[in-house]
């Protein structure tokens, strides 16, 4: 059994200093401990309890806020916040994690593999905001300062060992035993993950200021201009004080009372929104990640190296590293940002009833990512192995005009421009009466491109700014023919600027209603949505990681155990909420509460395993089954069955 203990606490004190000044102090936290056991769901996939572990995690947060009224037309807010979070895992067995892929199903033995041996994040935030009201204007302006320090201590279970370059690792290893029919042994022991360092401390400062106005022009028109500036500085163990500046974000909004009676609102907005980069980038890109993507050995003890040039397990390169040094920094690189344009109309079509139509467009003209300028095939060819010996990265704003590494041009590969385009048309109907209300909406949308955002929903990678999307040139005609025998997909589909992105949901319908009778209140929620697009995903031949390279155009569909499908089934769920007040006596009140989730116990499939291969290439026997390959333990992907929650709220 998995046993965890969480001590959750919260406290708040409010001090009112006269009518115009107030201070709130809030404290909350959730320090937690997991006893030795299957703290990871995947620990249950092993043949024994070697993957059990002990886990300590959680944090403590403090916030102090001041709100003041200086004059009738001048308001001030100031906030100080401190957030401390920690996680530390202790393996029960310190041995290499080994997955035997020469048999089906795979056999997993050894320790937990990669784990956080003591990671600590401390973030301090200071904010001050002010509002001035005068002559038809409501001007707001403010400043925010963040000081964050992330200390990382990552490890891999098992003893250290000697790599092909003669260095001793600082960690243990994750090892796949993969078929190698080309050699007498019939198998090789492939190190897929091991590092030459473990500890990194990465400080970061981030600050921004903004100014905005709400300007009432006459009786019908309101204009809301604004401007925000952001700057971020971070340091790794090698590159210090890397600063991303000149990030200006203009915003403008307009609202017009078209009918002059407050019943018709026409509005439009434009905004630019920058994305702050977390310290994961500093820990991996401004430091030396310096780890294996491939290391092949003849023996289980990792003492007999497979020589370069020997054909084994489908390759002739048997030692490839990544991130031996810190990334090369493009001094002109800037933060990722999103542009948003929207316009709409709201009209009161009857008493207490409003109908609205809204169009939204979003794109991401600038993306911060790391790239490697060698085509993937160049790491495998003898004639380019000397210039593409390890995967080294450039931190930049990727674009098609970036050249590939000199000496690899003959492969014909190029980069693609990152594209993320979202279009939606939304219709809403809102009716509010004395004792009941209802809100309904329908949204048609399209999400196209080759860049999902900071999180890769297709394979679960959460490395903002340093994902694997652009690690290799994607417009590469040499990739598919070279890796045809290993069925490793076609990297050109990864860079397709018109690809259907994983979060595309063309149709969404929502309905919420609430009704009261005396002390009784009942509400319902209905959510309907298109399913997610399905794309077969092969493993990355260089990294060995699964779910990386599309085998067809995105959204072309896969063969599931339920037949060929381009999307998961249309999703629907009805929830019900009820509350009954027992009345108030002497300033005290008791309320009975009940919530029913998934009222009709619908059990639709939410996702299918889209990975055609396991890591390092073997066919995934679970391809097309309704399971997750992102969540630990590969849990089934069905709607959560009907559940009921009851409670009592007591107010005094």
pLDDT range class, residue 125, cuts 50, 70, 90: very high
> Containing H/E element for 280?
helix 280-284
pLDDT of the residue at 583: 77
Q: How far apart are the first and last CA of the chain?
A: 39
- Contact between 175 and 193 under an 8 Å Cβ cutoff? The reply is no
> How many folded domains does the chain comprise?
1
Distance CA 596, CA 377 (A): 54
Q: Place 17 in a pLDDT band, splitting at 50, 70 and 90.
A: very high
Is the confidence at residue 288, as pLDDT, over 90?
A: yes
Over residues 193-214, mean pLDDT = 97
Residues 6+ apart with CB under 8 A from 34: 2, 3, 4, 5, 53, 54, 55, 56, 57
CA-closest candidate to residue 97, choices 194, 181, 20: 194
Q: What pTM did the predictor assign?
A: 0.91
What average pLDDT does the chain have?
Answer: 96
Measured distance CA(509)–CA(439) in Å, rounded: 11
Q: How far is CA 104 from CA 191, 299, 619, 628, in A?
A: 20, 21, 10, 18
Q: What is the pLDDT of residue 618?
A: 85
- The dihedral built from the CA positions of residue 603, 609, 610 and 612, taken in this order, carries a sign that is negative
Beta strands in 306-401 (DSSP E): 319-322, 328-329, 337-350, 353-366, 369-371, 394-396
Q: How many C-beta atoms surround the C-beta of residue 431 within 10 A?
A: 17
Q: Indicate the burial class of 88 (C-beta count within 10 angstroms; 0-12, 13-18, 19 or more).
A: middle
> Which structural domain range is residue 547 located in?
4-651
pLDDT at 10 over 90: yes
Count of other CB atoms within 10 angstroms of residue 69: 15
How many angstroms separate the CA atoms of 291 and 301, rounded? Answer: 19
Please determine, for residue 115, whether its predicted confidence score (pLDDT) is greater than 80.
Answer: yes
- Spatial distance between the Cα atoms of 554 and 549, rounded to a whole number of angstroms: 10
Cα–Cα distance list, 173 to 97, 162, 352, 412 (Å): 7, 11, 65, 36
Alpha helices (H) in 379-497, listed in sequence order = 479-482, 491-494
Give percent above pLDDT 90 in the chain: 92
Residue 481, SS3?
A: helix
Our measurement of the distance from residue 378's CA atom to the centroid of its chain's CA atoms, rounded to an integer in Å, reads 30
The CATH number covering residue 524 comes to 2.40.170.20
Contact predicate 227/250, CB 8 Å: yes
Q: Which residues pair with 350 in a beta bridge?
A: 353
Mean pLDDT of 604-618: 92
Query: 105 preceded by cis ω (within 30°)?
Result: yes
Q: What is the pLDDT of residue 617?
A: 79
Which pLDDT band holds residue 286 (cuts at 50, 70, 90)? very high
At 548-606, the pLDDT tens digits run 999 999 999 999 999 999 999 999 999 999 999 987 777 788 999 999 999 999 999 99
Rounded CA-CA distance 230/98 in Å is: 45
Pairing type for strands 394-396 and 328-329 reads: parallel
Percent of the chain surpassing pLDDT 70: 100
């Amino acid at each position: 059994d998995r046993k965890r203990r969480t001590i959750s606490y919260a406290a708040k004190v409010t001090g009112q200093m006269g009518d115009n000044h107030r201070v709130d102090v809030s404290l909350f936290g959730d320090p937690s401990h997991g006893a030795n056991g299957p703290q990871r769901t995947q620990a249950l996939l092993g043949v024994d309890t070697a993957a059990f572990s002990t886990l300590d995690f959680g944090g403590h947060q403090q916030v102090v806020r001041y709100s003041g009224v200086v004059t009738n037309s001048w308001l001030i807010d100031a906030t100080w916040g401190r957030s401390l979070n920690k996680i530390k895992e202790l393996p029960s067995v310190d041995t290499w994690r080994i997955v035997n892929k020469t048999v089906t199903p795979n056999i997993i033995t050894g320790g937990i593999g990669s784990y956080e041996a003591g990671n600590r994040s401390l973030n301090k935030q200071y904010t001050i905001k002010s509002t001035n009201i005068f002559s038809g204007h409501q001007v707001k302006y403010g400043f925010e300062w963040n000081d964050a320090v992330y200390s990382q201590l990552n490890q891999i279970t098992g003893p250290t060992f000697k790599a092909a370059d003669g260095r001793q690792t600082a960690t243990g290893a994750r090892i796949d035993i993969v078929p190698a029919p080309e050699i007498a042994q019939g198998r090789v022991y492939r190190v897929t993950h091991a590092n030459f360092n473990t500890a990194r401390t990465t400080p970061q400062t981030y600050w921004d200021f903004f100014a905005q106005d709400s300007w009432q022009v006459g009786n019908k028109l309101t204009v809301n201009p604004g401007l925000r500036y952001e700057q971020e500085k971070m340091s790794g163990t090698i590159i210090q004080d890397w600063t991303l500046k000149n990030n200006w974000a203009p915003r403008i909004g307009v609202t017009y009372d078209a009918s002059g009676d407050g019943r018709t609102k026409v509005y439009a907005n434009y905004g630019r929104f920058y994305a702050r980069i977390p310290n994961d980038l500093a820990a991996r890109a401004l430091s030396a990640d310096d780890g294996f993507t491939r290391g092949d050995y003849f023996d289980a003890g990792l003492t007999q190296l497979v020589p370069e040039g020997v054909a084994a397990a489908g390759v002739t390169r048997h030692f490839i590293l990544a991130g031996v040094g810190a990334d090369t920094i493009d001094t002109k690189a800037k933060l990722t940002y999103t542009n948003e344009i929207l316009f709409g109309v709201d009209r009161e079509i009857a008493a207490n009833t409003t109908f609205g139509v809204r169009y939204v467009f979003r794109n991401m003209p600038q993306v911060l990512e790391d790239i490697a300028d060698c085509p993937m095939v160049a790491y495998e060819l003898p004639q380019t192995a000397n210039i593409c010996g390890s995967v080294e990265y450039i931190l930049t704003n990727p674009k098609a005009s970036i050249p590939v590494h000199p000496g690899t041009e003959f492969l014909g590969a190029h980069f693609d421009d990152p594209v993320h385009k979202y279009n939606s048309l939304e219709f809403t109907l809102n009716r509010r009466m004395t004792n009941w209300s209802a809100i309904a909406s329908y949204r048609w949308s399209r999400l196209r491109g080759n860049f999902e955002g900071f999180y890769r929903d297709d394979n679960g990678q959460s490395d903002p700014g340093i994902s694997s999307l652009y690690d290799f040139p994607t417009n590469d005609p040499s990739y598919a023919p070279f890796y045809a025998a290993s069925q490793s997909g076609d990297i050109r589909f990864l860079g397709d600027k018109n690809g259907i992105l994983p979060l595309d949901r063309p149709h969404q319908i929502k309905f919420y209603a609430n009704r009261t009778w005396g002390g009784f209140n009942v509400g319902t929620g209905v959510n309907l949505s298109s399913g997610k697009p399905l794309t077969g995903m092969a493993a990355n031949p260089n990294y060995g990681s699964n779910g990386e390279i599309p085998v067809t155009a995105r959204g072309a569909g896969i063969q599931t155990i339920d037949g060929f499908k381009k999307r998961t089934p249309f999703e629907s769920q009805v929830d019900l909420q009820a509350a009954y007040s027992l009345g108030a006596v002497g300033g005290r009140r008791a309320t009975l509460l009940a919530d029913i989730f998934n009222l009709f116990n619908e059990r639709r499939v939410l996702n299918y395993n889209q990975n055609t291969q396991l890591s390092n290439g073997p066919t995934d026997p679970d391809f097309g089954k309704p399971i997750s390959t992102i969540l630990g333990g590969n849990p089934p992907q069905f709607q959560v069955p009907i559940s009921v929650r009851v409670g009592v709220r007591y107010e005094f």
